[in-house]
Amino acid sequence: MGYRICIIGLGLMGASLAGALKRWRGASIAGMDADAGARESAKSLGIIDEAYSEARHAINGADLVIFCVYAHHIPLLIEKNAGFFRPGSLLTDICGVKSGLYAKIEGLLPESSDYVGIHPMAGKERAGFKNADPAIYKNSGFIICPLPASKPENIALMRDMASYIGAARVAVCPPDEHDSVIAYTSDLMHIASAALCVDYHPGMTSAFTAGAFRDCTRVADIDAEAWTELLMDNREFIKDRLDRYISNLSAIRGALEEKDGRKLFGILSHAGKNKREMLKR
């Protein structure tokens, strides 16, 4: 019997991943989703080989179980289905916040299963199975978050998976380091973009907009439910980044108030230099 993958949750990320993993290690893919439409479409489109409405049936016999659901469901799913994980299986998840989740998971893991978290840095403004696209992982970033007990060969397996789905830049780091960096590179960006749209100028029309408006507000039409959970789960790191951001904006405001062009020029030049440095990292 060949390699078996189970994907729990066939939303945007899960269904896209199922499509991107097709034929990796010659695996068969079992998909589970509570939504009959998503699971039947996934099966009939050939994105998955088997469709299940119950997690335990999908998990049964799987070498690799990938949780592509809201983080708060995962500990419960592991606990409820502890007896169904195949000995030697690897469990993973694609959630955007790791420390709190893994603190809960560590005590629940079946002894014979290993866990290595992943975070594919890909997505779309629009969620759900109907927006799935295996190409979202092409040329993307990809973070692997092992637990202290994770086996090296399973970390290597996640690296191989990242490469197979087309990720171009891979990092391996502990969950808390992941959360701290993501608070800046992803969470703060989404907050900054959303806040730009909380109250807009009533006189604006598209004649007044150019690339800066388009790009800075692109992710503001956010999946509010998913992002409320993500931001709440990572709130300690985010509060720190948000405080710095507000303080930097206030410094710009101060330079305008004081008509201090030299100070403003200094801040803008420094930001430009940092932006160029970040592109090299």
Beta bridge partners of 146: 116
CB of 275 to a copy of itself, least distance (A): 4
CA atoms within 13 A on the CB side of 156: 3
1 binds a copy of itself (CB under 8 A): no
Q: Whose structure tokens read 């709440």? A: 232
Q: Among 11, 31, 123, 175, which residue sits at the site for a copy of itself (rule: CB under 8 A)? A: 123
Binding residues with a copy of itself: total (CB under 8 A): 92
The residue count for the chain: 281
CB of 156 to a copy of itself, least distance (A): 16
Residue 105 φ/ψ region, left for φ over 0, alpha for ψ in the -120 to 50 degree band, beta for the rest? alpha
CB of 244 to a copy of itself, least distance (A): 6
Of 82 and 256, the one with the shorter C-beta distance to a copy of itself is: 256
127 binds a copy of itself (CB under 8 A): no
Of 108 and 170, the one with the shorter C-beta distance to a copy of itself is: 170
CB of 144 to a copy of itself, least distance (A): 9
Residue numbers 188-227 binding a copy of itself by CB under 8 A: 188-201, 203-213, 215-222, 224-225, 227
CB of 40 to a copy of itself, least distance (A): 29
How far is CA 51 from its chain centroid?
Answer: 24
12, 124 in Cβ contact below 8 A?
A: yes
271 binds a copy of itself (CB under 8 A): yes
138 binds a copy of itself (CB under 8 A): no
Dihedral angle of Cα 47, 48, 54, 59, to the nearest 10 degrees: -130
Please say whether the dihedral angle defined by the alpha carbons of residues 32, 151, 76 and 182, taken in this order, is positive or negative: negative
DSSP 26: G
252 binds a copy of itself (CB under 8 A): yes
Q: Report the DSSP pairing between strands 141-146 and 114-121.
A: antiparallel
72 binds a copy of itself (CB under 8 A): no
Residue numbers 143-172 binding a copy of itself by CB under 8 A: 143, 169-171
How far apart are alpha carbons 186 and 194 in whole angstroms? 12
CB of 218 to a copy of itself, least distance (A): 5
